[in-house]
Amino acid sequence: MAEAEKPAALPGIMPDRLPETARPPEDFNPIAIAKDLLRVTRAGALATIDRNTGHPFSSLINVATDADGSPLILVSRLSTHTANIEVDPRASVLLASTGKGDPLAHPRLTVIGTFANVAGDAPDAARVRRRFLSRHPKSKLYAGFGDFSFWRLHVVSAHLNGGFARAADLKAADVITNLRRY
Amino acid sequence: MAEAEKPAALPGIMPDRLPETARPPEDFNPIAIAKDLLRVTRAGALATIDRNTGHPFSSLINVATDADGSPLILVSRLSTHTANIEVDPRASVLLASTGKGDPLAHPRLTVIGTFANVAGDAPDAARVRRRFLSRHPKSKLYAGFGDFSFWRLHVVSAHLNGGFARAADLKAADVITNLRRY
């Protein structure tokens, strides 16, 4: 590669390669950024495995968090992504902050785990419903439909891409709050 | 479910269940909306299969289209999503339009297929590079890096969720332009 192609700095750009080859700034706190994205992002991209073809399937979802930070979704049994997680509950959710300019210049978090259905008569069902509808009041319009139900992502790991030279692989314990400690 | 929970209409809301249970309006043209999303959306969510765990992995990408509409991406070999498609090239890309209010009220397209690397000395490499960098001029900063390369999605199908009571499964031929006809 010609040396002239290498700029001295890449303002506002964060190609994925740089985290591996450059040292992030000392004030980079990936856990804090990850927790922030987890708690404030209202919509995300869900990745599931298509039950018919095995292809990874990307779809749009509204998302909230349970008390410990675990992502919550409200989906219809008639939709593709729900049919997928009923067969294989492995999934991930991309939570991206938005803003001006290149989307890749803004932090985003991929939360990886396994979905479990929150049964309507489960002890935590009322809390899950309250938390989700508090963040998404318009969802009350269909939350009561018989084919809709809540699912919680049991997080196993996460990947933060926080910007130029700022990426980190995180453990579940880095982003999920251990409520048993309190 | 109590009848009172069913509103007469769901303005601005489009739960996934409705496409299966309601008839879309007569002026609904899923192919036109899908092609529009494919050609104008600049960033999307890529779903790949994690090469280590098998989990579906969702990540943010900038996207352009080849002449026929096939999605093009520019990614680093050092990134997770690239390592994933090198092992299993099956993927999908979610292209969502944005706007005010509920994100689920806006149309989005999932394009499903298989990625193939565009070799730097391939006959179509110059066209792919030109088209991608024309849409993403800032990517010129790192497009020349040795670990970056272009990939093209060979589309096998697509799923459009266009709004309330507006969804459709599409074939590749619905969204990809057959250039041999011209």
ipTM metric = 0.86
Check whether A7 has a pLDDT greater than 60: no
pLDDT in tens, A136-158: 999 999 999 999 999 999 999 99
Q: Whole-number mean pLDDT of chain B?
A: 87
pLDDT at residue number B99 = 78
H or E segment and range at residue A83: helix A80-87
Contact B104 A62 (CB under 8 A): yes
Provide the pLDDT for residue A5: 37
Phi, psi of B137 (to 5 degrees): -60, -30
pLDDT of residue B182: 66
Instruction: Provide the 3-class DSSP secondary structure of residue A117.
Output: strand
CA-based nearest distance B146→chain A, Å: 6
Q: Which residues of A touch B159 (CB under 8 A)?
A: 57, 59, 80
User: Per residue in B114-167, pLDDT tens?
Assistant: 999 999 999 999 999 999 999 999 999 999 999 999 999 999 999 999 876 688
Question: How much is the pLDDT for B8?
Answer: 34
Residues counted in chain B: 182
Chain A residue numbers touching B145 (CB-CB < 8 A): 1, 5-6, 15, 17
3-state secondary structure of A41: coil
What pLDDT is recorded for position B18?
A: 45
Contacts of B168 in chain A (CB under 8 A): none
Q: What is the pLDDT of residues A84-118, one digit of tens each?
A: 999 999 999 999 988 788 888 899 999 999 999 99
pLDDT range class, residue B76, cuts 50, 70, 90: very high
pLDDT value at residue A27: 82
Minimal Cβ distance to A47: which of B12, B20, B58: B58
> Lowest mean pLDDT: which of A22-26, A39-43, A169-173, B129-133?
A22-26
The candidate with the shortest Cα–Cα distance to B76, out of A165, A31, A121, is A165
Residue A74's SS3 state is strand
**Average pLDDT value for chain A:** 87
Q: How far is CA A135 from CA A153, B98, B102, in A?
A: 17, 19, 11
- With a cut of 90, say whether residue B94 has pLDDT above it: yes
Give the amino acid at B132: F
Average pLDDT of the segment spanning B47-53: 97
* pLDDT score recorded for residue B165: 66
Chain A CB contacts of B58 below 8 Å: 44-47, 58, 92-94, 110
Q: Among positive and negative, which fits the CA dihedral A48, A52, A53, A58?
A: negative
Give A5's DSSP letter: G
pLDDT computed for residue A165 by the predictor:
65
Q: For an interface test with A, which of B3, B37, B52, B58 has the most A Cβ atoms less than 10 Å from its Cβ?
A: B58
pLDDT higher than 50, residue A20: no
Say whether pLDDT at B34 is over 70: yes
Give the dihedral of Cα atoms B159, B164, A37, B48; nearest 10 deg. Answer: -10
How many CB contacts within 8 angstroms connect chain A with chain B?
188
Amino acid A180: pLDDT = 82
* Distance (Å, whole) CA B95 – CA B97: 7
Residue to test with chain A: of B55, B84, B95, B140, most A Cβ within 10 A? B55
* β-strand partners of A113: A91, A155
Q: Residue B18: which of A61, A86, A79, A129 has the closest Cα?
A: A79
8 Å CB contact of B138 and A16? no
Percent of all residues in chain B with a pLDDT value above 70, rounded to a whole number: 85
The whole-number pLDDT of residue A61 equals: 96
User: How far is C-alpha B11 from the chain's CA centre?
Assistant: 26
DSSP chain B: --GGGS-S--TT---TTHHHHSPPPTT--HHHHHHHHHHH--EEEEEEE-TTT--EEEEEEE-EE-TTS-EEEEEETTSHHHHHHHH--EEEEEEE---SS-GGGS-EEEEEEEEEEE-TTSTTHHHHHHHHHHH-GGGHHHHTSTTEEEEEEEEEEEEEEEETTEEEEEEHHHHS--GGG-
d(CA A76, CA A80): 9
Does residue A18 register a pLDDT over 70? no
Residues of chain A contacting B57 with CB distance shorter than 8 Å = 47, 56, 92, 110, 112
Q: How confident is the model at residue B11 (pLDDT cuts 50, 70, 90)?
A: very low
